[in-house]
């Protein structure tokens, strides 16, 4: 994606982007425009949010990120004049996101940020959200709190983690409008030198919740250590360093839809 600043007036910034057109995305340099910072551990690049928001929503619509972290999705929503709801189990993340939203942008849109649990979004009505974009923890690879009740980044068991993801998927399915999109970024891991297909298992739970798979975008990771100890360990132990994540884009089918057309993209 190439980025050109076409105007800067006070804190209002306008950018011209060339958005992605294939299923492989690679951003060697993460965006640092507006209030984006790399400091929230494990946050995703603003380019991901920008591509997804521009592809799957319109100005004035409402975007939900129920695991908002440092607020990347919501900053982009504001810049792109979308209303947004950001939720995180961790009050510190909520404060960081609120702080990151302290910039002016016109036209104005509304952003609501609050502490909450992605497994229970009862304050959001059925079929009311136009786009979901989110980025769960990758099991317990990074722990996002000391031990907050409900923080799924403390779950190290794959089936137990997927059970909680399934609860989140069901809630996201409920709140999303039919025929609209839910995008999630998720990676894999390795245990005892063997590949653990976390992303594949998470994808299956979203299909089980009723979604159909629209895209599987491979996102190249650039923040991994490509030199030193890990390279040597991987060579010694005959494994490759994982340097990609998956951005799954799911669609919630329409009620009257002929599902036979998409039978191979849904839960079988
Ligand atoms: C990978 S981070 C999100 C990073 C975000 N995309 C960004 O760019 O800053 C995952 C977030 O999920 C949150 N989380 C964990 N369990 C949660 C739950 N049950 N409900 C809501 N948020 C949760 C963590 O506190 C963490 O902030």
User: Which residue did the predictor score with more confidence, 135 or 8?
Assistant: 135
| Ligand 1 atom nearest to 44, measured from its CA | 8
Look at residue 261 and tell me if it is in a domain.
no
Q: At residue 52, what are phi and psi to the nearest 5 degrees? A: -65, -45
Per the structure, the complete domain to which residue 105 belongs is given by 3-254
Is 139 inside a domain boundary? yes
Residue 42 lies in a domain: yes
- pLDDT exceeds cutoff 50 at 246: yes
Number of domains in the chain: 1
Q: How far is the CA of 238 from the centre of ligand 1 (A)?
A: 33
Residue 265 lies in a domain: no
In a domain, 99, yes or no: yes
Residue 268 lies in a domain: no
What value does the CA radius of gyration of the chain take, rounded to a whole number of Å?
18
Q: Which tens digit of pLDDT belongs to each residue from 25-50? A: 999 999 999 999 999 999 999 999 99
Residue 210 is part of a domain; what is its CATH number? 3.40.50.150
Ligand 1 atom closest to Cα of residue 136: 10
Is the CB of residue 88 less than 8 Å from the CB of residue 67?
Answer: yes
Q: Which of 28, 40, 60, 25 is nearest to 49 (CA)?
A: 25
Residue 11 has pLDDT above 80, yes or no: no
**58 within some domain:** yes
Kindly give the distance from the C-alpha atom of residue 68 to the centroid of ligand 1, in angstroms, as a whole number: 5
In a domain, 195, yes or no: yes
Query: What confidence score (pLDDT) does residue 166 get?
Result: 98
pLDDT exceeds cutoff 50 at 12: no
pTM, entire model:
0.94
* pLDDT one-digit tens code per residue, 85-97: 999 999 999 999 9
pLDDT at 18 (0 to 100)? 85
Is the pLDDT assigned to residue 9 strictly greater than 80?
no
pLDDT score, position 233: 78
3-class SS letters over the chain: CCEEEEEEECCEEEEEECCCCCCEEECCCCCCCCCCCCCCCCCCCHHHHHHHHHHHCCCCCEEEECCCCCCHHHHHHHHCCCEEEEEECCHHHHHHHHHHCCCCCCCCCCEEEEECECCECCCCCCCCEEEEEECCCCCCCCCCCCCCCCCHHHCCCHHHHHHHHHHHHHHHHHHEEEEEEEEEEEECEEECCEEECHHHHHHHHHHHCCCEEEEEEEEECCCCCCCCHHHHHHHHHCCCCCCEEEEEEEECCCCCCCHHHHHHHCCC
**How remote is the CA of residue 69 from the centroid of ligand 1, in Å?**
5
């Amino acid at each position: 994606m190439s980025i050109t600043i076409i105007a800067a007036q006070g804190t209002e910034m306008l950018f011209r982007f060339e958005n992605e057109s294939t299923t492989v995305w690679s951003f060697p340099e993460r965006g640092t425009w507006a209030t984006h910072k790399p400091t929230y551990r494990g946050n995703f690049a603003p380019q991901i949010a920008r591509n997804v928001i521009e592809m799957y929503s319109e100005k004035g619509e409402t975007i939900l990120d129920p695991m908002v972290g440092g607020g990347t999705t919501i900053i982009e929503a504001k810049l792109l004049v979308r209303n947004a709801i950001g939720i995180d189990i961790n009050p510190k993340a909520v404060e960081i996101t609120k702080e990151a939203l302290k910039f002016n942008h016109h036209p104005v849109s509304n952003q609501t940020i609050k502490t909450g649990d992605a497994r229970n979004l009862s304050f959001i009505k059925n079929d009311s959200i136009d786009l979901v974009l989110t980025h769960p923890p990758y099991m317990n690879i990074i722990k996002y709190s000391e031990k907050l009740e409900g923080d799924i980044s403390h779950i190290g068991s794959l089936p137990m983690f997927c059970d909680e993801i399934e609860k989140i998927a069901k809630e996201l399915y409920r709140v999303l409008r039919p025929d609209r999109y839910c995008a999630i970024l998720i990676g894999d891991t390795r245990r005892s030198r063997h590949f653990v297909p976390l992303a594949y298992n998470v994808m299956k739970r979203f299909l089980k919740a009723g979604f159909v798979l629209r895209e599987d975008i491979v996102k190249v990771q650039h923040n991994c250590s490509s030199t030193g100890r890990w390279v040597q360990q991987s060579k010694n132990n005959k494994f490759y360093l994982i340097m990609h994540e998956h951005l799954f884009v799911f669609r919630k089918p329409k009620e009257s839809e002929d599902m036979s057309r998409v039978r191979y993209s849904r839960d079988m």
